[in-house]
Structure 1
Amino acid sequence: MIGLDTSHCTAFTELLHDENHPHHVPGATVAVAFPGGSPDIELSRTRVGGFTERLANEFGVTIVDSPARVAEEADAILIEAMDGRVHLPLFREIARYGKPVFIDKPLAVRSEDALAIRELAAAHGVPLMSGSSLRYSGAVAEALEGVGGRDRVIGADCFGPMAIEPSQPGWFWYGIHTVEMLYAAMGPGCVRVTASVSAEHDVAVGEWRDGRIGIARGNRSGNHGFGAAIHGKEGTRFADVSAYAKPFYASLVERIVDFCRTGEAAVPIDETIEIIRFMEAANESRETGKPVLL
């Protein structure tokens, strides 16, 4: 594990190590980790020490002094650093080892970096996966099943909290969770995004090449839960993520373990790169008020 400045580090490790956890995920453990951290992000700077200490003391994780040491000693690698700006440089340090790599959201905060990560992975034969846990919410999965699967979806309206972190532009910090839910429902193929913004809310409207429309709404006041209305050809199903018993991050860890075993990503990297470009286009549109082509 590389980058110990997010609660995902301890939450994922607990799921993997604690056999008594109600949502325990068998098949892997966290053996070695590098703390990292971003000094210009307060949440990173103030939490990396505590998370590192807990991993070492409570779960017996060996703490090392470089990403390369993690890559040398681990069978597969999770880049958990919360700062999307550092994912490409961290990946550059470990790609040559050719081991499966999961990069937590966002894959990058620029589409150029996302494309560079894909190219590096291909050059070194690295199985690569990235994404938000919200896409794997059981509530979203049940709503999709209720409309007959993703092939039957004609549109989706997704919402979630959207705090802003200056170092991670616009949608990239927390809005990505809602955009990932949107893509879980709609699939790839968005061609144009139009965004609106106020002090308390963001809205991004995506137009798909087949004429479908998908909406992502980010809230900074009022409702701080995640949810979606998924529209199918025969009806609409609502997904209330917060009301679902199984934590969505447990479902993500299950996918990560499967990926580390098989090298097959649950989401194609090309879809993840389109999500990065969607948010980049939404950020441009929220500044200009004009539609932006992907």
Structure 2
Amino acid sequence: MKKIGFIDYYLDEWHANKYPEWIRSISGGRMQVTCAYGEKDADNGLTNAEWCLQNDIKLLDTIEEVVNDSDYLVILSPDHPERHEALAQLPLTSGKPTYMDKTFAPNRATAIRLFELAKQHGTPLYSSSALRFAMEYVQIEREGIRVISSWGPGAFENYSIHQIEPIISMISSEPKRVMFIGTKTAPALLIEFNDGRQATIHHLGEDCPFTMAVSYHSGNCRITKPESDFFNLFIQDLILFFDTGQVSVPSSQTISIITIIEYGMKAAVCPYQWVDLPRNS
């Protein structure tokens, strides 16, 4: 059995609550979360000690202990990406395959530093929204895509990644600029790519399901909703990553996604004006 260590801001959160059983089940028991570290206790929930007791996972006092006691590492803190850089310093120098939960980083500069640190130490590293792995998105025809329009729930700050990630995976061009075209209660962002293609994302309320319309140069339009078990598909990809050390999500795409989120929030201050994005190369 291969041992996985969790490193989190606090352990009583949705992803940490779900991942251990999914990993154990989907790997057939070959991989299991055996130890964990939490920087602090949840403000409204189980303490780290209570969480570990409930999940039969060993609570360790330091990140270093988790790194030493694990074959693979998962850095969580999904809703506090500003903690990722501090939590990742030792894991990314370990050489052990490391997954960092969404949202990867609070800004472009941090994302670049994290990937550079991992590269310097030969540490396989990747991050992704689970929505990238939805079968409906994976199987969609990519040839001839002209425009993508996406809808979904949640706040722009922590939920836009679930719309941006699939878009970036489908359009093989670097994003060039963004324009905020929504409102405070219904944020929306227009993204233009270097090759002239465009995509929009819309946050239309908590009851809005993830939905995507893809328009093609042929004139055809395909509308799809991710109804497959994309978390199961994501965990399958995570297990393959641990088995092989091979990253399925290019770091350049993750950096582009974080750049769009960061500059999208800047664009919200000046709606209906283009904001240029820095280039990856």
TM-score when scaled to structure 1? 0.84
Aligned pair partner of 2:54 in 53, 57, 75: 57
Give 1:205 shift. Answer: 0.6
The answer to whether the 8 A contact 1:153-1:230 is kept is yes
Does residue 234 of structure 2 align to residue 227 of structure 1?
no
Aligned pair partner of 2:19 in 12, 23, 33: 12
Equivalent residue number for residue 38 of structure 2: 35
Deviation digits for residues 127-158 of structure 1 (CA, Å, limit 9, x no counterpart): 1101111111122224x1xx3xx343222111
Give 1:15 shift. Answer: 1.1
The answer to whether the 8 A contact 2:112-2:255 is kept is yes
The answer to whether the 8 A contact 2:173-2:194 is kept is no
Equivalent residue number for residue 123 of structure 1: 120
Give 1:177 shift. Answer: 1.1
Equivalent residue number for residue 167 of structure 1: none
Aligned pair partner of 1:2 in 1, 7, 20: 7
Query: What is the distance in 2 between the residues matched to 1:153 and 1:55?
Result: 47
Deviation digits for residues 95-125 of structure 1 (CA, Å, limit 9, x no counterpart): 2211111111111011111111011111111
Equivalent residue number for residue 215 of structure 1: 200
Equivalent residue number for residue 176 of structure 2: 191
Equivalent residue number for residue 252 of structure 1: 234
Deviation digits for residues 25-47 of structure 1 (CA, Å, limit 9, x no counterpart): 4342111111234x8xxxx5224
Q: After the TM superposition, which residues 68-147 of structure 1 pair with which residues of structure 2 at under 5 Å, given as runs?
A: 68-82=64-78, 83-142=80-139, 144=140, 147=141
Aligned pair partner of 1:161 in 145, 153, 157: 153
Aligned pair partner of 2:252 in 270, 273, 277: 270
More helix by share: 1
Give 1:55 shift. Answer: 4.8
TM-score when scaled to structure 2? 0.87
Equivalent residue number for residue 3 of structure 2: none
Deviation digits for residues 214-252 of structure 1 (CA, Å, limit 9, x no counterpart): 11111235x4311111223442222212xx2x4211111
Q: After the TM superposition, which residues 175-186 of structure 1 pair with which residues of structure 2 at under 5 Å, given as runs?
A: 175-186=160-171
Amino acid at match of 1:73: D
Report the secondary structure of 2:269's partner residue: helix
Report the secondary structure of 2:33's partner residue: coil
Query: What is the distance in 1 between the residues matched to 2:69 and 2:144?
Result: 44
The answer to whether the 8 A contact 2:23-2:239 is kept is no
Query: Greater CA deviation, 133-142 or 120-129?
Result: 133-142
Query: What is the distance in 2 between the residues matched to 1:190 and 1:280?
Result: 13
Can you give the 5+ residue segments of structure 1 that lack an aligned partner in the other structure? 19-23, 164-170
Does residue 144 of structure 2 align to residue 152 of structure 1?
yes
Equivalent residue number for residue 45 of structure 1: 43
Query: What is the distance in 2 between the residues matched to 1:277 and 1:208?
Result: 13
Give 1:48 shift. Answer: 5.4
The answer to whether the 8 A contact 2:12-2:51 is kept is no
Give 1:185 shift. Answer: 2.3
Considering only aligned residues, what root-mean-square deviation do their CA atoms show, in Å? 2.0
Query: What is the distance in 1 between the residues matched to 2:233 and 2:13?
Result: 18
Equivalent residue number for residue 67 of structure 1: 63
Query: What is the distance in 1 between the residues matched to 2:76 and 2:46?
Result: 11
Amino acid at match of 2:214: I
Give 1:255 shift. Answer: 1.0
Equivalent residue number for residue 221 of structure 2: 236
Q: How many residues align?
A: 266
Give 1:16 shift. Answer: 1.9
Report the secondary structure of 2:223's partner residue: strand
Query: What is the distance in 2 between the residues matched to 1:75 and 1:29?
Result: 10
Can you give the 5+ residue segments of structure 2 that lack an aligned partner in the other structure? 1-5
